[in-house]
Amino acid sequence: MTPDYKELEKQLSKTHKFGFTPKYKYEFRTQLSEKEFFAITNKVFDELEWDIVYIDEHSVEAKRKTKNLGITKYTESIIVLYNYGNISVKSESLGNELWDNGRNSKRVHLFIEVFKDIENNYNREELNQLEKEQEAKDNWDDYVVPTELPMPKATKKPTIVFAVVITVLTSVILAFALAKISLTGNYILILFEFIIGTALAFALKFGIKFGNYTNFIKLRTILIISILTVFLGNQIFQYNMILMENNFERISFFEFIKLRFEQGLTIKTLNVGGIGLVISWLFQLGFTFAFGYMHLTRYLINYTIDRIPREVIDFAYYSFLKGKNEQEVRKELTCMGWRDEQNQTEVFEALDGVHGNNEMNRTV
C-alpha cells in the first residue's frame, strides 16, 4: 500500500461493530458496467495489497493480511458484490475477536475511497477499453493454445488398500498412546483432538499417494471409522491397563464402561456425572472429525492438482471455457497425447481440485 493510502486510512472515521464475527457493510450505486467495475476493483485490491481469493461473475473476495513477528495472517475478508449497478462492500473479521475496534468499517471505506480515486483517472473511452481488456482476461483471449502437452505419467490403478492399512495401523498406535496419556490425567481437550485428527488425515495422505486413490466419500468413511477405532481402542487399552497395573479382579469390558459411567467425569473438583462424560466423548469425536476432515480435504485437493502438469490443467480449463463438453475435451486431450481414460479423468479431478482450493481459501 502506498504512503498516501496509508495516510488516508488513518484519517477515516470508525464505526465500531460487535459480534462473534464482527462485520461492516456499506452499499452504493455506480454507473459503471459490471466489467468496468470489476476491472477497477481488481486494481483497487492490487493497490491495497489485499489478496484476491475468489472471483465469480458477480462478486470478488479478497483478504487483508498483516505481518507481526515474522508471522503472516489474514485479519479481514472483504467481499464486493455487483447487482445491476448496486454495489455492496462487506468486511468481516477473521480472528476470534468480539469487537473489531472499527477496523471493518475502515477497510470498507478505504476500498470505496481508493475505488473512486482510480475511477476518476479514466475517461469514458478509457473505461470502454478497460472493459474490453477485462472481457479478454475473463475469456482467456490471450491464451496461446499449445501444440503439445507434457506427457502423462504411467497409469497407476487406484486402490483403497493402502489407505485402509495405513490408517488402521495409525489408529491402533494412537489409541494406545491416548490411553497411556489419559490414565496420567494429562489429557488436554481440543489439543489432543487436533493431534489425532491431523495424524489420521496425514496417514490417509500416504494412502492417497501410494494407492493413487481419490474417492472422497470412501476416504471420509475411512476417516470416520478410524476416529471411532481410536476412541474405542482408547477405552479398551485403558480397561486392560487398569486391570493389569492394579491387579483388579477381571471384569468384562462392558462392566468397566458401566462403572466409568456411574463414576462420571470429574473436572478439577466438580463431578459432572455420566451425562457430562458422554458429552465430553461426543465433543472429542466431533472435534477430531472436524480437524481430520479439514486436513483430509486439503491433502486430497493438493494431490489431485499436483499429479497433473499445470499446462494440462490450463488447456482443459480453456477448452471448457470455450463451451466444449466433457467428451469434446476428452477428444482434445487424446489429440494431445493424453489417450488413457483414467489420465483424462485425473485431469478433470484436478480441475475440481482447483475449484475446491479456491473455496477453501475463502474459509481459511
What's the rounded Cα separation, in Å, for the pair 220 and 210? 17
pLDDT higher at 321 or 248: 321
**CATH number, position 127:** 3.30.310.80
How high is the pLDDT of residue 87? 94
Q: Is the pLDDT of residue 13 over 80?
A: yes
Same domain, 39 and 133: yes
**Number of folded domains that form the chain:** 2
What's the rounded Cα separation, in Å, for the pair 325 and 317? 11
How high is the pLDDT of residue 248? 66
Q: Scanning the structure block, which residue is given the C-alpha cell 480397561?
A: 239
Q: Is the pLDDT of residue 205 over 70?
A: yes
Which residue in 262, 259, 256, 284 sits closest to 275, CA to CA?
262
Same domain, 228 and 351: yes
What's the rounded Cα separation, in Å, for the pair 226 and 168? 7
How high is the pLDDT of residue 247? 66
Asked if the structure places residue 156 within a domain, the reply is no
Structural domain of 99? 3-138
What's the rounded Cα separation, in Å, for the pair 93 and 77? 7
Same domain, 257 and 304: yes
Q: Is the pLDDT of residue 70 over 80?
A: no
How high is the pLDDT of residue 359? 78
Q: Is the dihedral of CA 8, 11, 15, 21 positive or negative?
A: positive
Residue spans of beta strands (DSSP E) within 159-301: 266-267, 270-271
Same domain, 174 and 63: no
Asked if the structure places residue 150 within a domain, the reply is no
HSE-up of 137 (CA within 13 Å, CB side)?
A: 13
Same domain, 96 and 191: no
Asked if the structure places residue 155 within a domain, the reply is no
Same domain, 13 and 67: yes
pTM: 0.80
Picking from 105, 138, 171, the residue at the C-terminal end of a domain is: 138
pLDDT band (50, 70, 90) for residue 267: low
How high is the pLDDT of residue 7? 86
Same domain, 121 and 270: no
pLDDT band (50, 70, 90) for residue 279: confident
pLDDT band (50, 70, 90) for residue 131: confident
What's the rounded Cα separation, in Å, for the pair 273 and 267? 10
Asked if the structure places residue 152 within a domain, the reply is no
Picking from 138, 171, 189, the residue at the C-terminal end of a domain is: 138
Judging by DSSP bridges, how do beta strands 266-267 and 270-271 pair with one another? antiparallel
Average model confidence (pLDDT) for the chain? 89
Q: Is the pLDDT of residue 312 over 80?
A: yes
**181-210: average pLDDT:** 89
Same domain, 210 and 313: yes
pLDDT band (50, 70, 90) for residue 266: low
**20-42: average pLDDT:** 91
Asked if the structure places residue 154 within a domain, the reply is no
**234-246: average pLDDT:** 85
Asked if the structure places residue 147 within a domain, the reply is no
Q: In what order do the strands lie in the sheet with 71-83?
A: 23-29, 86-93, 71-83, 59-68, 51-55
How high is the pLDDT of residue 352? 94
Asked if the structure places residue 144 within a domain, the reply is no
Q: Is the pLDDT of residue 114 over 70?
A: yes
**328-342: average pLDDT:** 94
Q: Is the pLDDT of residue 227 over 70?
A: yes
Asked if the structure places residue 148 within a domain, the reply is no
> What residue type is assigned to position 33 of the chain?
S
Same domain, 110 and 173: no
Q: Is the pLDDT of residue 31 over 70?
A: yes
Same domain, 201 and 125: no
**270-285: average pLDDT:** 82
Same domain, 172 and 299: yes
Same domain, 272 and 347: yes
